Amino acid sequence: MSVKEVAERLQVEPMALEQESLRVYLEQRLKLVESELFELTFKYGVKDVDGFDEKIKEGKFREEDSFEDFFKFDNLEAERDRILETMERL
């Protein structure tokens, strides 16, 4: 079914349906990203990827052991920022 068909069935404007659908998708994706970020902040006891990097530099975590989580953390923060920026534009 197309957006136009669904909009007609729901008796709403297609553009309004698209906007609301995008907003809901972004909110759900943001919740998922933030929950993954929360797990990492809890696991390593840091607030953000910069704090994580500092702890690695201080030797609190071995770089070899936390390498994957560091990049995951960094990518999740970047995705969160992109989502928030996109939501502001809607």
Q: State the pTM of this model.
A: 0.85
User: What is the chain's mean pLDDT, rounded?
Assistant: 94
Query: Above 90 in pLDDT, residue 22?
Result: yes
Q: What is the mean pLDDT of the segment spanning 5-25?
A: 95
Residue/partner pairs of 27-30 with CB below 8 Å, 24 or more apart: 27/87, 29/83, 30/80, 30/83, 30/84, 30/87
Q: What is the mean pLDDT of the segment spanning 55-75?
A: 90
Query: Above 90 in pLDDT, residue 63?
Result: no
